[in-house]
């Protein structure tokens, strides 16, 4: 017996601010969108605590609660939200073939990719224990909560250097933990770090453990990898800035990407190199990576998908 294929106008792969915003706009355009959440429904924001930099929440809001609101709004407007993950795609012809949970095949006239990105972590057990309670992978998101305090940041690239100087404007002291005896960042960014008085760079240093009281961070144990000398840094915040990796592996070979896996979209557009496939959010944004920019690009993707379908219908009926 052959498999029953489901045909949809608009399939959204991934949740989070980008996916849910795309769903809201697609639903209001009567595209009857189907959204598969992925294994982490709501995306990275469900792993954060307070969100204070998203407009419309004067008192701030918890990340998980915010994503529940996004989901409720998308659902109320008519999005078919399903828990599941996309295991493979075939973009060779229209409609596009998408396999969900390695078992169900969906034919989609348009596909919106909003699979996001994941922060790279050091791999410490204590890092995950205090994630959202003093440990963060986004200084712009969470630095405000540590104003006037001492913090540490690990990383040696441009992002780490930029986030260290950002934190230095808010915090009393910033320890920058660099594994080697030099930065990977550009000379301009290194110059900025070295000329910021309240940043102390610890070269040849690695993080051994993040210490806390069971609720919040209160210190970090580091080791000099040349002398083996251990030091305890009295900090209340620990920022990991060793990079992100986009969740785009299943699209490799179909969608054009940069060397690190971020999807390349056409200028001023969410269009990819494949007709009828659009990308938004952190899967294609390695620069800003904010909830508000992800939501904005989700809006763009839905509008682009709606215009693409409208143009095709016009051609067919003309």
User: What is the H or E stretch that residue 232 is in?
Assistant: strand 230-233
Question: Of all residues in the chain, what percent carry a pLDDT higher than 90?
Answer: 85
The residues assigned a catalytic role are: 138, 141-142
- In whole angstroms, what is the distance from residue 33 CA to residue 74 CA? 10
**Contacts for 280 with CB less than 8 Å, ≥ 6 apart:** 18, 19, 22, 112, 113, 114, 270, 294, 297, 298, 300, 301
- Tell me how crowded residue 208 is: count the other CB atoms within 10 A of its CB: 16
- In whole angstroms, what is the distance from residue 22 CA to residue 280 CA? 9
Instruction: Take residue 12 and report the two structure tokens written for it.
Output: 């959204």
Asked whether the predicted pLDDT for residue 103 surpasses 80, the reply is: yes
User: What is the H or E stretch that residue 111 is in?
Assistant: strand 104-113
CA distances from 232 to 103, 160, 172, 176, 207 (A): 51, 21, 17, 14, 10
Instruction: Take residue 52 and report the two structure tokens written for it.
Output: 């204070």
CA distances from 152 to 81, 118, 210, 216 (A): 39, 21, 10, 14
Asked whether the predicted pLDDT for residue 281 surpasses 70, the reply is: yes
Among 212, 259, 252, CA closest to 232? 212
CA distances from 269 to 5, 103, 181, 277 (A): 30, 32, 41, 11
Asked whether the predicted pLDDT for residue 21 surpasses 50, the reply is: yes
CA distances from 239 to 39, 69, 94, 128, 131 (A): 25, 28, 44, 12, 10
In tens, the pLDDT along 113-160 reads 999 998 889 999 999 999 989 999 989 889 999 999 999 999 999 889
In tens, the pLDDT along 24-57 reads 999 999 999 999 998 888 888 877 778 888 999 9
Domains of the chain: 6-118+244-317 (3.50.50.60), 121-240 (3.50.50.60)
Instruction: Take residue 204 and report the two structure tokens written for it.
Output: 């040849």
Whether residue 280 contacts residue 294, with contact meaning beta carbons closer than 8 Å, is answered with yes
- In whole angstroms, what is the distance from residue 252 CA to residue 262 CA? 10
- Tell me how crowded residue 100 is: count the other CB atoms within 10 A of its CB: 19
Instruction: Take residue 303 and report the two structure tokens written for it.
Output: 């509008």
Could you tell me the pLDDT band of residue 20, with boundaries at 50, 70 and 90?
very high
Could you tell me the pLDDT band of residue 1, with boundaries at 50, 70 and 90?
very low
Among 254, 259, 257, CA closest to 243? 259
Asked whether the predicted pLDDT for residue 315 surpasses 80, the reply is: no
- In whole angstroms, what is the distance from residue 100 CA to residue 86 CA? 4
- Tell me how crowded residue 318 is: count the other CB atoms within 10 A of its CB: 5
Helix (H, G, I), strand (E, B) or coil at 112: strand
Task: Count Cβ atoms within 10 A of the Cβ of residue 193 and give its class: 0-12 exposed, 13-18 middle, 19 or more buried.
Answer: buried
- In whole angstroms, what is the distance from residue 90 CA to residue 97 CA? 5
Q: What angle do CA 155, 158, 163 make, to 5 degrees?
A: 70
């Amino acid at each position: 017996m052959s498999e029953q294929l489901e045909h949809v106008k608009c399939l959204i792969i991934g949740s989070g601010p980008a996916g849910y915003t795309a769903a809201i706009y697609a639903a209001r355009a009567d595209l009857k969108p189907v959204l598969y959440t992925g294994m982490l429904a709501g995306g990275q924001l469900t792993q954060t605590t307070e969100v204070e930099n998203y407009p419309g929440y004067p008192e701030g809001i918890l990340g998980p609660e915010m994503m529940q609101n996004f989901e409720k709004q998308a659902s109320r407007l008519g999005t078919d939200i399903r828990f599941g993950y996309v295991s493979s795609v075939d973009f060779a012809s229209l409609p596009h073939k998408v396999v969900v949970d390695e078992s169900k095949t969906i034919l989609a006239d348009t596909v919106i990719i909003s699979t996001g990105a994941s922060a790279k972590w050091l791999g410490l057990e204590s890092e995950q224990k205090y994630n959202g309670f003093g440990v963060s992978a986004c200084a712009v998101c969470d630095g405000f909560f540590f104003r006037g305090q001492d913090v540490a940041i690990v990383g040696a690239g441009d992002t780490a250097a930029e986030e260290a100087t950002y934190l230095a404007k808010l915090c009393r002291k910033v320890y920058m933990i660099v594994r080697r005896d030099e930065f990977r960042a550009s000379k301009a960014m290194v110059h900025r770090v070295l000329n910021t008085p309240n940043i102390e760079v610890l070269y040849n240093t690695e993080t051994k453990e993040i210490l806390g009281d069971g609720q919040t961070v209160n210190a970090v144990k580091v080791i000099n990898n040349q002398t083996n000398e251990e030091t305890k840094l009295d900090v209340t915040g620990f920022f990991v800035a060793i990079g992100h990796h986009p969740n785009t592996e299943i699209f490799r070979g179909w969608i054009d990407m940069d060397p690190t896996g971020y999807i390349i979209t056409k200028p001023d557009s969410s269009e990819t190199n494949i007709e009828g496939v659009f990308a938004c959010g952190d899967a294609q944004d390695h620069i800003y990576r904010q909830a508000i920019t992800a939501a904005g690009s989700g809006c763009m993707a839905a509008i682009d998908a709606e215009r693409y379908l409208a143009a095709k219908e016009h051609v067919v009926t003309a």
